[in-house]
Amino acid sequence: MTAEIAGEAGAPRTPTPVSILGTGSYVPSRVITNDDVGSTAGVDDEWIVRKTGIHERRYGKDDEATSDLAAAAARAALENAGVSVADLSLIIVATSTPDSPQPPTATVVAELLQTPSTAAAFDLNSVCSGFVYALSAARSMIAGGGYALVIGADMYSRITDPTDPRTRVLWGDGAGAVVLGPATGRRAVTATRLLTYTEGHDLIKVPAGGTRMGTTAQTLAEGAHYFTMNGRGVKEAVYTTLPETLQTFLDDAGIDKAEVSHIVPHQANGVMLAELDQSLGFPRARMHTTVTRYGNTGSASIPITLDAAARQQALGPGEKVLLCAFGGGFNLGFALIEW
């Protein structure tokens, strides 16, 4: 969606173009194999690979929190962009696994980076679609100028049940970030769209720990503070909603599928991504994945994968890059970048 901003005389004008000036990512050093997660979840390596395509993932250290991962990715993105912390006017951290309910994890990241007090910092929770939602928000917020740091960071190792094979084997920890700023003639974010299908709002959830169901001895004993997912329902929701809404997004942006050179999707499940790659019907696009090495890193998965593609110089000047997110809510998010 492209917002219109009123000018001095009240007439709408197109927002100033915004570009991705730099990318960065961070994954913890602790490698977790399929044997590691399978030993508690009651499954083996063959089962995990067949169901998910994942071979390993990363877990944070005991003294690491989401803000630590986010700050590390942010530093890498700022260095890549050649932008100083002092120049930032906005920090958005997309996460569904914050350091704590309060304060916002973004303010902890701001402290770690030593950003100026003039830089606003806040969290955004749209689960696995969070990074694209944050990118869209930041694009609108700095359309008049300034620099924004957009971070996706999650640590699902802290909220998944070690005995649940449906969730434990999928998730890893990590963070990815981009720096947005005035358009440079390259890497312009040209279009975004955000959608929510509320009938799927309960497919993915953490039942306890909020105001609907607080944390008690009983909820802890029942494991209600763990992440739960209706995997079959999620897959059905993706296959039902994604093709049509994605086509509408491209049509509204005036883009044919043949013009898209790269797709960076949410790294939900390697097997599902392979199926989507075949079914979505992009004749030239390369789908980029990191899920086999890092698992599903939630809101971090798209910026981690985008950073990997950028640093491998896999994205050519002027090529169209499609970001495609889906996750809890049930939320979808799309973005087009003119690399």
Check 34, 296, 324, 331 and give the catalytic one: 296
Active site residue 128: yes
Both tokens of 65, joined, read 């929190």
Whether residue 4 has pLDDT greater than 60: no
Domain stops at, among 142, 163, 185: 185
Examine the domain organization and report whether 209 and 307 are in the same domain.
yes
Dist. CA 279–CA 255, nearest whole Å: 18
Look at strands 260-265 and 320-327 and give their pairing.
parallel
**Domain match, 225 and 327 both:** yes
- Check: CB of residue 69 under 8 Å from CB of residue 153: yes
Q: Are residues 199 and 254 in the same domain?
A: yes
Give kind and range of the element (H or E) at residue 217.
Answer: helix 217-222
CA dist 180 → 2, 33, 141, 192, 213 (Å)? 16, 35, 11, 14, 38
Mean pLDDT, residues 310-329 taken together: 96
Whether residue 143 is found in the same domain as residue 195? no
Domain shared by 111 and 40, yes or no: yes
Which pLDDT score, from 0 to 100, does residue 230 have? 83
Q: Is the dihedral of CA 45, 50, 54, 55 positive or negative?
A: positive
Among 128, 262, 288, 331, the active-site one is: 128
Last residue of a domain, one of 154, 185, 216: 185
What would the pLDDT profile of 23-33 be if each residue is shown by its tens digit? 999 999 999 99
- Phi then psi for residue 235, to 5 deg, are -60, -45
In the structure encoding, which two tokens stand for residue 256, read together? 């044919």
At 182-225, the pLDDT tens digits run: 988 899 999 999 999 988 888 888 888 888 889 999 999 988 88
Q: Are residues 39 and 65 in the same domain?
A: yes
Phi, psi of 185 (to 5 degrees): 95, -5
Q: Once rounded to an integer, what is the mean pLDDT over residues 85-110? A: 97
Q: What is the CATH number of the domain that holds 211?
A: 3.40.47.10
Judgement on whether residues 98 and 217 belong to the same structural domain of the protein: no
| Buried b or exposed e, range 61-84, using 16+ CB within 10 angstroms | eeebbbbbbbbbbbbbbbebbebe
Mean pLDDT over all residues of the chain? 93
Dihedral angle of Cα 151, 155, 156, 161, to the nearest 10 degrees: -170
11 band by pLDDT with thresholds 50, 70 and 90: very low
Q: Measure the CA–CA gap between 278 and 301, rounded to whole angstroms.
A: 21
Pairing of strands 331-338, 204-205: unpaired
Looking at residue 206, its pLDDT comes to 85
Residue 243 and residue 160 share a domain: no
Stretch 279-302: mean pLDDT: 97
- The residues, any chain, with a CB within 8 Å of residue 13's CB and separated by 6 or more, are 4, 5, 6, 7
Residues 152, 175 contacting (CB under 8 angstroms): yes
Q: What is the pLDDT of residue 14?
A: 52
169-179: b or e for each residue (b if 16 or more CB lie within 10 Å)? Answer: bbbbbbbbbbb
Residues 51 and 126 in one domain: yes
Same domain, 214 and 160: no
Q: Do the beta carbons of residue 105 and residue 67 sit within 8 Å?
A: yes
Residue 25: its H or E element: strand 18-26
Instruction: Let me know if 266 is a catalytic residue.
Output: yes
Task: Give the three-class secondary structure for 268.
Answer: coil
- What residue numbers bound the domain in which 246 lies? 190-338
Residues 160 and 204 reside in one and the same domain? no
Count of the separate structural domains present in the chain: 2
Q: Which secondary structure element, helix H or strand E, spans residue 261, and what is its range?
A: strand 260-265
| Same domain as 129, residue 246 | no
**What is the structure's pLDDT at 15?**
59
The pLDDT confidence band at residue 38, using thresholds 50, 70 and 90, is very high
Question: What's this model's pTM, rounded to 2 decimal places?
Answer: 0.93
The catalytic residue among 34, 266, 288, 324 is 266
Boundary-marking domain end, from 147, 167, 185: 185
Active site residue 230: no
Per-residue pLDDT at 235: 86
Q: Give residue 85's pLDDT band: very low, low, confident or very high (50, 70, 90).
A: very high
